[in-house]
């Protein structure tokens, strides 16, 4: 096991209609999102196929078949809350659900990678 790690960090500021498209972090090992600011008026989406879908939330799901990932995956949603830190394997396919709040949603994301 490596005792040296590289940390890549970035901030995300999303406004009305803001979201992150579905993706993975192929170079990371452990990823995370820390919620600095979350709009007070984020509510479940009325037309969501899954009632657990919450505007502005972090959603984990199955990657598209073109990525050839065969592992089973259930839809999981992590609701954003100020001060919450969400940690997950970097290979998890995820996105943020669009939201319409007039306030900004601010998070700090990172990938941790062992140095080889």
Q: List the single range of 10-14, 17-21, 48-52, 56-60 with lowest mean pLDDT.
A: 48-52
Q: Which residue has the higher pLDDT, 89 or 67?
A: 89
Order of all β-strands in the sheet with 58-60? 76-78, 58-60, 94-96
Q: Quick one: how far is CA 67 from the chain centroid?
A: 19
Q: Is the confidence at residue 36, as pLDDT, over 90?
A: yes
Structural domains in the chain, sorted by start? 5-114 (2.60.120.620)
Q: Which residues contact 4 (CB under 8 A, 6 or more apart)?
A: 114, 115
Q: Which of 80, 69, 75 is nearest to 49 (CA)?
A: 75
What pLDDT shows up at residue 112?
Answer: 96
What pLDDT shows up at residue 104?
Answer: 92
| pTM for the predicted model, two decimal places | 0.81
Query: What is the average pLDDT across 4-15?
Result: 94
What is the Rg, in whole angstroms, of the alpha carbon atoms belonging to the chain?
Answer: 15
Q: Which residues contact 32 (CB under 8 A, 6 or more apart)?
A: 85, 86, 87, 88, 109, 110, 112
């Amino acid at each position: 096991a490596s005792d040296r790690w590289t940390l890549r960090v970035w901030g995300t500021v999303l406004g009305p209609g803001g979201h992150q498209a579905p993706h993975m972090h192929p170079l990371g090992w452990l990823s995370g999102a820390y919620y600095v600011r979350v709009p007070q008026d984020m509510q479940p989406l009325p037309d969501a196929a899954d009632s657990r879908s919450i505007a502005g939330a972090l959603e984990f799901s199955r990657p598209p078949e073109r990525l050839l990932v065969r592992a089973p995956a259930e839809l999981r949603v992590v609701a954003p809350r100020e001060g919450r830190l969400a940690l997950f394997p970097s290979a998890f396919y995820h996105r943020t659900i669009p939201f319409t709040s007039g306030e900004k949603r601010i998070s700090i994301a990172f990938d941790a990678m062992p140095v080889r």
